[in-house]
Amino acid sequence: MSSNQIVFQRPATLHQESGQWSVAEVEALYALPFMELVFRAAEVHRQYFDPTRVQLSTLLSIKTGGCPEDCGYCPQSVHHDTPVANQPMMTVDEVVDAARAAKANGAGRFCMGAAWRGPKDADLEQTLDMVRQVKELGLETCATFGLLKDGQAEKLKGAGLDYYNHNLDTAPDKYADIIQTREYEDRLDTLGKVRGAGLSVCCGGIVGLNETREDRAGLITQLANLEPQPESVPINSLVKVEGTPLEGAEELDWTEFVRTIAVARLTMPASYVRLSAGRRSMPEAMQALCFLAGANSIFYGDKLLTTGNPDVEADRVLLTKLDLAPL
């Protein structure tokens, strides 16, 4: 039986969100003819969402640099000699001002990131005020602070946090090539704590880490088999930063990125799939194809955490050209 025939039998179960995916099934989706894959993903997108709407999240790095973790892609790790310096945590007022500006620009969600392995209890206390005040502005709140200890997710939830971002980043088998200071299980453990506290989950990964297609399928399989599936799935394209071990990673063909978006849409039909880092290097037509293939969320704002993102004005123009409206 050819891989395509396997996939053509799949639609009956495609919409069963609790169905477990195998890596082989996900690889079979990747192997569909490109146009067929995009078409099917666009079809499923329409069954679950209004395809003319895009969710907008603005990022802010509330604590930049000096991170003890050694993630091979990240400019904020102390293990890599990059242009990013260790900076103190921002004040609550600075964060709230940035959130106000994001809201004025039309963002619906404000995501606060910190270059920590995980928050110390004293640091977490300071972030709770940020969460409370950002929430009071009428924005959805998201935090990405790394690994959580028992009780920390509940504190964030109590302060008004809506989403916690914690990415699996790559396939389990590839993880040790990219990160040595923690294990896949550690990430899964925090995702369990986040769910247990009643927070919504934002969990995705990065492509372009010199991984194979099987690794990409391995990542999507892990994400799709989370129960329940993550509400938000950021798909990042590696931003190559000088001084990181992955600075010279091989360029991934753009069609493979679009395929990854489409496969995420097909396997996680009810999730917001975010076209995330790397958009500054993506032509508009490629981004349009990602939206067609089921992406319905972006990071919106001139900066990601430490690297650039398309300007707000450029994104406004793009969304207008594509007749896409913010949620």
Per the residue annotation, which of 202, 259, 279, 290 is the catalytic one? 202
Distance CA 269, CA 16 (A): 9
Report yes or no: 272 and 110 within 8 Å, Cβ to Cβ: no
202 given a catalytic annotation: yes
Q: How far is the CB of 239 from ligand DTB (least distance, A)?
A: 5
Distance CA 99, CA 112 (A): 9
Task: Establish if 310 lies at the interface with ligand DTB (CB under 6 A).
Answer: no
- Residue 233 host element (H or E): strand 232-237
Q: Which does 306 bind (CB under 5 to 8 A by kind): ligand SAM, ligand DTB, ligand SF4, none?
A: ligand DTB
Distance CA 245, CA 139 (A): 36
**Token code pair at residue 316:** 């406004």
Residue 232 burial by Cβ neighbours in a 10 Å radius (0-12, 13-18, 19+)? buried
184: phi then psi, degrees, rounded to nearest 5: -50, -40
Comparing CB distances to ligand DTB, the nearer of 289 and 304 is: 304
- Residue 319 host element (H or E): helix 312-321
274 given a catalytic annotation: yes
Residue 116 burial by Cβ neighbours in a 10 Å radius (0-12, 13-18, 19+)? buried
Q: How far is the CB of 99 from ligand SF4 (least distance, A)?
A: 20
Kindly state the number of chain residues that form the binding site for ligand SF4, as judged by CB under 6 A.
8
- DSSP letter assigned to residue 249: P
> What mask of x and - would describe binding to ligand SF4 in positions 9 to 28, judged by CB under 6 A?
--------------------
Strand ranges, E, within 132-173: 140-144, 163-165
> What mask of x and - would describe binding to ligand SF4 in positions 139 to 158, judged by CB under 6 A?
-------x------------
Comparing CB distances to ligand SF4, the nearer of 76 and 229 is: 76
Task: Establish if 305 lies at the interface with ligand DTB (CB under 6 A).
Answer: yes
As a residue count, the chain comes to: 327
Q: Which does 238 bind (CB under 5 to 8 A by kind): ligand SAM, ligand DTB, ligand SF4, none?
A: ligand SAM
Tokens 């509940």 belong to: 154
Task: Establish if 54 lies at the interface with ligand DTB (CB under 6 A).
Answer: no
Task: Establish if 239 lies at the interface with ligand DTB (CB under 6 A).
Answer: yes
> What mask of x and - would describe binding to ligand SAM in positions 162 to 201, judged by CB under 6 A?
----xx-x--------------------------------
Task: Establish if 69 lies at the interface with ligand SF4 (CB under 6 A).
Answer: yes
Per the residue annotation, which of 67, 109, 259, 290 is the catalytic one? 67
Q: How far is the CB of 34 from ligand SF4 (least distance, A)?
A: 31
